[in-house]
Amino acid sequence: MKIVVIGSRGTLGMALADFWNDPRVEARIAANLGRDPVVSNDEIFPLNLPDFDVCSRMLAIDAITELEPDVVVNASGINLVDWLEPRGNTAMNVHVHAVANLKTAVERAGALLVQFGCGEVFYRESLSDVPPDFPGFSESDEPNPASVYAKTKLESERVAREASDHLVLRLSSLFGETSEYSSGNLVASLINSLSRTTKISVLSDRVMEPLWSIDVLCALKTLLARGVRGLCHLSGGSRATPKEVAERFFWETGHRKREVVGISSKDYGEVAPRSAFTVLRSETLGSTEGVYRIPDWRTALRDYLDWRQGGSIF
Ligand SMILES: NC(=O)c1ccc[n+]([C@@H]2O[C@H](COP(=O)([O-])OP(=O)(O)OC[C@H]3O[C@@H](n4cnc5c(N)ncnc54)[C@H](OP(=O)(O)O)[C@@H]3O)[C@@H](O)[C@H]2O)c1
């Protein structure tokens, strides 16, 4: 297959573009599904700013259709939620108009459009708004986005779902390797903090599901192989506060004396409203055979740190 990856220098895009055919990814999928690894030999076309701007309508459409792709995966976007809040036009452009361009391109190419959505489309002001035994939001739950980021991400899903062949995958919170170009992620910040400080303040009043970008790749590959389409929540059901992730990270990396101080979103001084709870669950994938099961975040974090240490790739 020919696969175009847009936003190929971001956390998710890098995992998709750089590791799509990596035998270790196939080995991870095989171990997860209890089967033998397969050889992956897809053609990957990574596209990113500054050479490729998904918002430049005609240039983007022409560039993509010329490649004659089978699949266009859109991992581009802007995750700087506070920065976007007063910049509604930029958010519309980079999230919604961009996907409208991709929709035209995939229709012309006869390709599948894969779009990523976020758990932020379900806004809960505080954890007291979520019952303790709540299993997470499913595909049939009604979104109620609050920030400009979340509203435009939801609108981008709507546009993607107008494409005749589409897969929209909602995620809670990503971690994984980043480039200097990415907006970063919690675990990347924790890695950076190791050389800078012995005490760190991390949010303790938000619950999410941390997902390793490589696990999103593993899941996507099996979803494509099974021909899954429509809206799907990508989740293994595990959950954590950012503070719990930080504590686990320092424990796993042998920095057990690091002090992790829990702070509230209010004290953090955030501008845009953030959902206190973004854990998802999937009604669609629960019964689908042969689809990669997202591991518990603690396992994924350990595997990521091992992989990072041992490989020449990261
Ligand atoms: N991060 C999370 O926790 C999370 C959670 C749920 C859903 N998602 C969704 O998952 C997707 C990927 O997120 P991520 O964390 O990997 O994002 P990221 O690290 O910020 O990467 C986004 C990438 O998109 C590129 N990009 C931005 N505008 C572009 C344009 N006009 N044309 C081409 N490329 C452009 C960026 O390039 P430059 O850096 O050069 O600008 C960057 O490489 C996004 O749709 C995001 O909303 C993320």
DSSP state of 294: P
Ligand 1 atom nearest to CA at 13 = 16
Instruction: Report percent pLDDT > 70 for the chain.
Output: 98
Residue nearest to atom 36 of ligand 1 (CA): 7
Ligand 1 atom nearest to CA at 173 = 3
Q: What is the mean pLDDT of residues 170-191?
A: 87
Who contacts 217 (Cβ-Cβ below 8 Å, separation ≥6)?
A: 15, 16, 19, 20, 25
Q: Place 257 in a pLDDT band, splitting at 50, 70 and 90.
A: confident
Say yes or no: CB of residue 284 within 6 Å of ligand 1. Answer: no
Q: Cα(159)–Cα(144) distance, rounded to whole angstroms? A: 17
In angstroms, what is the span from residue 67 Cα to ligand 1's centroid?
A: 22
Where exactly are the structural domains of the chain?
2-182+210-238+278-294
Q: Which of 47, 121, 174 to mutate to test the pocket of ligand 1 (most atoms within 8 A of CB)?
A: 174
Of 312 and 138, more confident: 138
The torsion angles phi and psi of 64, rounded to 5 degrees, stand at -75, -45
Instruction: Mark out the alpha helices in 204-295 (DSSP H runs).
Output: 213-225, 242-252, 265-268
**pTM score of the predicted model:** 0.97
Q: Which of 4, 8, 16, 49 to mutate to test the pocket of ligand 1 (most atoms within 8 A of CB)?
A: 49
pLDDT at residue 314, as a whole number: 37
Distances (CA, A) of 311 to 191, 268, 278, 314: 17, 35, 32, 6
The CATH classification number of 2-182+210-238+278-294 equals 3.40.50.720
Say yes or no: CB of residue 53 within 6 Å of ligand 1. Answer: yes
Say yes or no: CB of residue 141 within 6 Å of ligand 1. Answer: no
Is residue 52 over pLDDT 60?
yes
